[in-house]
Amino acid sequence: EIVLTQSPATLSLSPGERATLSCRASQSVGSYLAWYQQKPGQAPRLLIYDASNRATGIPARFSGSGSGTDFTLTISSLEPEDFAVYYCQQRSDWPLTFGQGTRLEIK
């Protein structure tokens, strides 16, 4: 099973700041990595797929990069609605796996 390790576990930032979230895979997943956002009481929402493609309706301040084992989700300038939990997910191999999540909180 491919293990995805996200860091940091919690990130405390202020609106307007830049957020950088990391996801590391235990073995190469190529570009088969996605990012999701989840707010309290809501289902997750797809942000980025295939490492760097924004899903429909996702603002341009969200961007993804990386390949192989190291991936990054960047939010260029935080809006109040961006404070949430973020998960990465791989589909390179079965079983599909998620990272444990990064909580982005308001400083």
Joined together, the tokens standing for residue 93 give 């191999």
Joined together, the tokens standing for residue 32 give 């088969």
- Is 40 near another protein (CB under 8 A)? no
Least distance between another protein and beta carbon 66 (Å): 16
Angle in degrees, CA 61, 63, 68, rounded to 5: 170
- Is 49 near another protein (CB under 8 A)? yes
Determine the Cα–Cα distance for residues 33 and 4; give it in Å rounded to an integer: 10
The single residue among 13, 28, 68, 98 that binds another protein, judged by CB under 8 A, is: 98
The single residue among 23, 34, 75, 104 that binds another protein, judged by CB under 8 A, is: 34
